Structure 1
Amino acid sequence: MPPFMRTAIDYAAYLCLRGTIALVQALPLSICERGAEALAWLMHDVLRLRRRVVENNLAIAFPNWSDAQRERTMKQMWRHLFLMVAEIAHTPRKVHRTTWRDWIELDRDDLILQTVLADGPKVVISAHYGNFELGGYVLGVFGLPTHTIARTLDNRFVDRYVNEFRGRTGQFILPKTGSRDDVERVLSGGGVLTLLGDQHAGPKGCWVDFFGKPASTHKAVSLFTLSYAAPTVVVGVQRRGDAALKYRISGVDAVDPRAEGFELGTTPLLTEWFTRRLEEVIRREPAQYWWVHRRWKGEPPSRRKATSKDKTEPQAV
């Protein structure tokens, strides 16, 4: 496709996105809630999009659940995802320094503040749970700027627009590839790096149990903490009830590599620690997790080698 055609298509998609967001912003949140319910019905009952992926993920995470429990959670998940999009559109107009208490409740905020206000580099770890975008936005509202590593979107117009929203209060985005020097600058300068700790890292990742099954996790999440001796906190941003834009930001647990007797000084140990904390958060409200993405893919290298050996070597008799 000629470059000018690609640019025209991308810009048209960007204009459609801006128009959709303007429409959503013009609607009351109560209408957005009903719209999210209708779209959840469409995705779950009619289109059945990614249904098999979600079913398989829930079967792994909650093997003792009934079919009815899984069905209910799947539909609630879609409602949450669509409502989250509407909330993000409304956030800049509703959540400010003088109004955030109308929408946000803090729980164990001492863990968050002790970490992000500590001297030197800091790391905040979250997951694809609740409204994680709102978490970074609210930290900026509190006057605590952060830097987040995220994949650059293919559509450069949409990517710029999304990053402008994120940076409105001081949440700055670093590209997932080629940002090594930027990360060095942020952490060496005593900044706050926020990361999603539940992304699949491929066969070379750090494999730890997630809901009882090995999942590959990016080693860099732990290496940032260990290499820079950075205090680290796990944070959950959970919807309160069914109402739009009503959230609880919770400090789940925190560690400090500089503390005497620190016992999580290796990548596997620290990865296991924050993965367990994230699992604890997700279990609170499973319908608020992104079960649509494939968290469990492949097998740990040791298991693959064992399987290959079993197939090729003769069995003793």
Structure 2
Amino acid sequence: MRPKLVVDYLVYLIVRIFICVVQATALSVCARASKFLAWLANDVLKIRGKLVDQNLKHAFPDLTADQRHKLARRSWYHLCLMVCEIAHAPRKLHDTNWHKSIQMHDIHVQIEQALGRRPVVVLLGHFGNFELMGYCTGLLGFPTYTVARPLDNPFLHKYLEEFRSATGQIILPKQGSAPYIEKVLEQNGTLALLCDQNAGPKGCWVEFMNRPASYHKAISVFSMTSGAPVVFLYMRRIGGPMQFEMGVEGIYDPARDGAKGVKEVTQWYNDMLERVVRRDPEQYWWVHNRWKDDRPATKRRKEQEKKEAARVAQAA
């Protein structure tokens, strides 16, 4: 066995042992442990501290340094508790008791779309417990096709894929999945995608939380070429552990709202994501370098000048 595979397997064993310990621990205890781990990561180890503070400073310029610090700690608490909830989900959430953990908000709209005779593109952000969203939609009888990048560790990848597909969610690889996606849309299937992943300098650049961010153009193209409505969903924590609200934040339907370009559709679903993030900012992944701008300096300057000109014209 190659050295890398040995290391990968040892990491996999450590993760599995950790998950077993979490599963054997009451969720109430997990919540208290998550508070300690959040303090440790944020206040002591200061993991990605500068990046998190910079992200919060741009997104919420009116917050003081102390307020940003407390918000960062709450964000770490959410991340730690999210891991615990995912570990407990196969034992805690079933088709007979999911309603005890999940409240629905305007979800009937999504159900109507899923039961229609058109394809549907469902979008989520790195917000709330997005991993449980696909798991729970499967429980409700609405399996989705989800595009996800394979993990570098093949053992962890197989384990995570088994969790994701346990209730009917079908995972498509990020590379080479275009023919499968085309077939899903042709057969009026439901395609679920994380919309806030960095697409690099050649992506579609739109405003998100007071800064430009790069997005994959394919998300908008899927809707434009198939006529599929784009449904923005969220799953936010509303109480203690394993207590969520699942809801529809907005729908863009080309048949109803008229055809839009790639940039317009991209800006629309970013506005939806920004709305849910601003309501519950501690439930967003601020540790993620979402606003990495690796475009050439000239292109960034021209984009900024264009934005300033648009603001001046709007004010006039």
Same fold flag (TM > 0.5): yes
Q: Tell me if 1:304 matches 2:304.
A: no
What is the deviation of 1:264?
4.5
Contact 1:58 1:291 in 2 (8 A): yes
After superposition, what is the alpha-carbon deviation per residue over 1:241-287, rounded to whole angstroms, capped at 9, x for unaligned?
3x11101011111122223xx33521011111110011001011100
Matched-pair contact (CA < 8 Å) for 2:203–2:215: yes
Given the alignment, which residue of 182, 185, 191 partners 1:184? 182
- TM-fit CA distance, 1:100: 0.5
- Matching residue's letter, 1:77: S
Q: Which secondary structure does the structure 2 equivalent of 1:12 belong to?
A: helix
| Correspondence for 2:110 | 112
2:153 is equivalent to residue 155 of structure 1: yes
Could you say which residue in structure 2 is the equivalent of 1:167?
165
Q: Secondary structure at the match of 2:2?
A: helix
Q: Distance in 2 between matches of 1:200 and 1:253?
A: 22
1:279 is matched with which residue: 274, 279, 282?
Answer: 274
Return the offset for 1:119: 1.2
Kept after mapping to 2: 8 A contact 1:123/1:195: yes
- 1:140: how far off? 0.1
AA aligned opposite 2:241 = A
1:12-51 pair list within 5 angstroms: 12-51=10-49
| Alpha carbons 1:118, 1:231 under 8 Å: kept | no
CA distance in 2, matches of 1:126, 1:292: 17
Q: Which residue of 2 aligns with 1:291?
A: 286
Q: What is the match of residue 77 of structure 1?
A: 75
Moved over 6 A (4+): 299-302
State how many pairs are aligned.
Answer: 303
Deviations 1:2-25 (A, max 9, x none): x62222221121111111111110
| Partner amino acid, structure 2, of 1:217 | Y
Following the alignment from structure 2 to structure 1, what is the Cα–Cα distance between the partners of residues 81 and 156?
Answer: 20
Question: Secondary structure at 2:241's aligned position in 1?
Answer: coil
Would the aligned equivalents of 1:214 and 1:299 in 2 still touch at CA under 8 Å? Answer: no
Partner residue of 1:65?
A: 63
Alignment of 1:250 with 2:251, yes or no, is no
In 2: Cα distance, 1:94 partner to 1:118 partner: 31
Q: Secondary structure at the match of 1:154?
A: coil
Q: CA RMSD in A?
A: 1.6
Unaligned regions of 5+ residues in structure 1, if any?
Answer: 310-317
Name the residue aligned to 1:54.
52
What are the equivalent positions in structure 2 for 1:82-161 lying under 5 Å apart?
Answer: 82-161=80-159
Question: Which residue identity is paired with 1:278?
Answer: L
Q: What residue is the counterpart of 2:312 in the other structure?
A: none
Asked whether the equivalents of residues 125 and 196 of structure 1 are also in contact (C-alpha less than 8 Å), the reply is yes
TM-score, length-scaled by structure 2: 0.92
- Which AA in structure 1 matches 2:300? R
Task: Tell me what 1:313 maps to.
Answer: none
Q: How high is the sequence identity, in percent, across the aligned residues?
A: 44
**Mean Cα deviation higher: 189-198 or 285-294:** 189-198
Counterpart secondary structure, 1:168: coil
- Counterpart amino acid of residue 51 in structure 2: V
> 1:115 is paired with a residue of what secondary structure?
helix
| Whole-angstrom CA distance in 1 between matches of 2:301 and 2:71 | 36
Q: 2:8 aligns with which of 10, 13, 22?
A: 10
Residue of structure 2 in register with 1:194 after alignment: 192
Is the CA contact (8 Å cut-off) linking 2:200 and 2:294 kept in structure 1?
Answer: no
Specify every segment of 5 or more residues in structure 2 that has no aligned partner in the other structure, as ranges: 306-316
Between the aligned partners of 2:35 and 2:111, the Cα distance in structure 1 is: 36
Q: Secondary structure of the equivalent of 1:258?
A: helix
C-alpha distance in 1, partners of 2:7/2:64?
45
* Alignment match of 1:232 (pick from 230, 233, 253): 230
- Write the distance in 1 (CA, Å) between the matches of 2:115 and 2:51: 40
Q: Work out the CA distance in 2 between the residues paired with 1:306 and 1:212.
A: 17
